[in-house]
Amino acid sequence: MSVLVVGTVAFDSIETPFGSAERILGGSASYFALGASFFAPVRIVGVIGRDFPQDYLDIFTQRNIDIGGIQRADGDTFHWRGRYHEDINLRDTIELHLNVLGGFEPKLPEPYRDAEYVFLGNIDPGMQMEVLRQLRRLKLVALDTMDHWIRESQQELRRVLERIEILVVNDSEARLLSGYDNNVKAARAILKMGPQMVLIKRGEYGVLQFSDSSMFATPAYPLEEVFDPTGAGDSFAGGFLGQLARSGDQSQGGLRRAIVYGSVVASFTVEDFGVKRLTDVSLAEIEERYRRFVQLTDFHS
Amino acid sequence: MSVLVVGTVAFDSIETPFGSAERILGGSASYFALGASFFAPVRIVGVIGRDFPQDYLDIFTQRNIDIGGIQRADGDTFHWRGRYHEDINLRDTIELHLNVLGGFEPKLPEPYRDAEYVFLGNIDPGMQMEVLRQLRRLKLVALDTMDHWIRESQQELRRVLERIEILVVNDSEARLLSGYDNNVKAARAILKMGPQMVLIKRGEYGVLQFSDSSMFATPAYPLEEVFDPTGAGDSFAGGFLGQLARSGDQSQGGLRRAIVYGSVVASFTVEDFGVKRLTDVSLAEIEERYRRFVQLTDFHS
């Protein structure tokens, strides 16, 4: 079962307390695709500029990611520049150049339209809706968004929320969207907006999952070094949907195990700059850390 | 198997976004004792002033807590006044009057000296050491401390740490004591100072447990309402040591289940002001929430 992602493919320029990197491969679709690629075939839809190097596209194809949905447009690639604080959970956006993303009209190649596992990465809700319109057979659609769209395009975002299954947000976004400070109340309010499931990402503190019938909480895998948190959330979503596509198991247990796989993938992502760790980690290492995650959290035996 | 706690018995005056309370029963020993009392007989050692009402002592005896170790001294009872922010994880100390605590010399009644489960609550490390000297047969000593002692009496604190089994701290205290920002590194450094186990409390985000051979992470129980976080950490420690005394099970699994019982007790504590919820909750409710905690975190089945 393959996974389709629509989102940004970008240049990231990143400064953390541990170093910096210029114009490395970034973007929500990139992190998601690489995270999902360990578990299932992945198709990526996005837009890049004339300046986007072949080397970066090769990173996708080396992981067997189908890049037939990446359009090349006249202009420069979307570029984000961010700086992390000493407290690595905090960051500032220093520069944001939409460039070719501004005029992006997502077009799904014909074979993509039957996708069954879909991730609508953090882009304009109007674009997310346009993707939904082009999809025929929907099995599961997950969506990410951010404070900007919640503030500026809430009406459009709400219409998309009515049509998706899973919302993936961090806790401040859940608060902003729902108007509640409390995660349980926030999730309950969001479930009324349409999604059957809300995943609240809490960075180094783990993930909360809410549905009408169930609540699941898991810590994050404790790491000795966090070099660069960029892409943790999107690669979490990639591991999550990738594992769902691999297992086909949407039971409560299957969904929970997919959340843990997502957490494991994210724990690798932050161990190096940009997508680097995602390109050199193996599925065997992911499975090994999943087993350690079981040991980390088990108190029954 | 009984549990002994030495710590503060206090008046707390508390302001939260949801209301305020004046001179209610507080203190590390009070919260610990009430939290532990669901699981095992508890003996409490502390000091109170002439102004301490019989009603408050009755709260202990109603839960079968042995108050034979509470001394009454000339002067006023220790009084803490604190205010919580809109973000209920943050608080300021508005007033702190040591009063009779200043001259406290802990004296263990003779039958207390054979205690096997001991909690040295957050007081001067010199007092904590004095208690250790009076104990004969030690099974398990856990210790709590705070930034003030880490900064001002680190040498004395270090001597106590060499002689205890379990250190219970929050993440900022672990950082301050170890010099490491990262929890894994901080815990590893603290384990070298003497304790065989470090419990790092993270409030609404749960608990991390570290020993030489094992790492355990658990989320906190997600609550819809948090009225007053005061005493969460001490009642967590009470539930933890109480359950260890009840089960006698110090296997890795036994220790982990005790951590979860501690988390469950703390989740009740914060549902109302001061010790109120701890005085009206039943063991049956605690066991029921423990089962829900298992469901909350289980992803194996």
Q: What is the pLDDT of residues A231-282, one digit of tens each?
A: 999 999 999 999 999 999 999 999 999 999 999 999 999 999 999 999 999 9
- Total Cβ atoms within 10 A of residue A250: 13
- Rounded CA gap, B7 and B242, in Å? 16
- Closest CB to A224 among B182, B220, B221: B182
Complex ipTM value: 0.93
Q: Inter-chain contact A224–B184, Cβ cutoff 8 Å?
A: yes
What does the CA dihedral A106, A108, A112, A114 come to, rounded to 10 degrees? 90
Task: Tell me: pLDDT of A65 over 80.
Answer: yes
Neighbours of A270 (CB within 10 A): 23
Angle between helices B28-36 and B232-247 (to 10 degrees): 40
| B299 chain-A contacts, CB cut-off 8 A | 216, 218, 253, 256-257, 259-260, 297
The shortest C-alpha distance from A205 to chain B (Å) reads 6
Chain B residue numbers touching A225 (CB-CB < 8 A)? 182
Give the nearest partner residue to B217 out of A185, A208, A297, using CB atoms: A297
Residue closest to A299 by CA, chosen among B237, B108, B243: B243
Supply the mean pLDDT for chain A: 96
Closest CA to A34 of A285, A249, A262: A262
CA distance B178 to chain A (A): 14
- In this prediction the pTM is 0.96
Tell me how crowded residue B50 is: count the other CB atoms within 10 A of its CB.
11
Q: Residues 21..60 of A with a Cβ closer than 8 Å to B: which?
A: none
Q: How far apart are CA A293 and CA B90, in angstroms?
A: 30
CA distance B301 to chain A (A): 6
Cβ–Cβ under 8 Å, residues A295 and A281: no
Minimal CA separation from B186 to chain A, in Å: 9
Q: Which of A254, A257, A269 is nearest to A293 (CA)?
A: A257
Low-confidence winner among A160-164, A175-179, B18-22, B243-247 (lowest mean pLDDT): B18-22
Pairing of strands B10-16, B19-26: antiparallel
What residues of A are in contact with residue B222 (Cβ under 8 Å)? 183-184, 208, 215, 217
Scanning every residue of chain A, which has its alpha carbon at the shortest distance from the alpha carbon of B220?
A217
Catalytically annotated residue among A234, A249, A272, A298: A234
- Please report, in tens digits, the pLDDT of each residue of chain B (301 residues total): 899 999 999 999 999 998 999 999 999 999 999 999 999 999 999 999 999 999 999 999 999 999 999 999 999 999 999 999 988 888 999 999 999 999 999 999 999 999 999 999 999 999 999 999 999 977 799 999 999 999 999 999 999 999 999 999 999 999 999 999 999 999 999 999 999 999 999 999 999 999 999 999 999 999 999 999 999 999 999 999 999 999 999 999 999 999 999 999 999 999 999 999 999 999 999 999 999 999 999 998 6
Shortest Cα distance, chain A CAs vs residue B224, angstroms: 6
- pLDDT of A63 reads 97
pLDDT at B62: 97
> From the CB of residue B216, how many other CB atoms can be counted at a distance below 10 Å?
24
Whose CA is closest to B258, among B236, B231, B283? B236
Contact A264, A226 (CB under 8 A): no
> Nearest 10 degrees: CA dihedral of A168, A174, A176, A180?
160
pLDDT for position A240: 98
Q: Is the predicted pLDDT of residue A118 greater than 80, yes or no?
A: yes
The residue of chain B with its CA nearest to that of A258 is: B299
For chain B, the DSSP string reads --EEEE---EEEEEEETTEEEEEEEE-HHHHHHHHHTTTS-EEEEEEE-TT--HHHHHHHHHTT-EEEEEEE-SSPPPEEEEEE-SSTT-EEEEEEE-GGGGG------GGGGG-SEEEE-SS-HHHHHHHHHH--S-SEEEEE--HHHHHHSHHHHHHHHTT-SEEEEEHHHHHHHHS-SSHHHHHHHHHTTS-SEEEEE-GGG-EEEEESS-EEEEPPPP-S-----TTHHHHHHHHHHHHHHHH---SHHHHHHHHHHHHHHHHHHTTSSTTHHHHH--HHHHHHHHHHHHHHH----
User: Which chain A residues have a beta carbon less than 8 Å from that of B239?
Assistant: none
Question: How far from the centroid of its chain's Cα atoms is residue A101's Cα?
Answer: 18
B226 touches chain A (CB under 8 A): yes
CA B213 to chain centre: 24
Interface of A with B in 235-294 (CB under 8 A): 253, 256-257, 259-260, 294
CA distances A195 to A128, A181, A192, A243, Å, are: 15, 19, 7, 20
| Smallest CA–CA distance from A208 into chain B, residue | B222
Q: What angle do CA A105, A243, A129 make, to 5 degrees?
A: 20
Most A CBs within 10 A among B251, B259, B299, B300, hence the mutation to make, goes to B299
Residue A60: pLDDT band by 50, 70, 90 thresholds? very high
- Closest CB to B205: pick one of A205, A221, A298: A205
CA distance B208 to B56: 33
With CB atoms and an 8 Å threshold, state whether A182 touches B215: no
- Contact criterion met (CB below 8 Å) for A203 and A229: yes
SS3 A187: helix
Under an 8 A CB cutoff, do A301 and B225 touch?
no
Indicate the pLDDT class of residue A137, thresholds 50, 70 and 90: confident
What amino acid occupies position A13? S
pLDDT at A86: 85
Asked whether the beta carbons of A247 and A224 are under 8 A apart, the reply is no
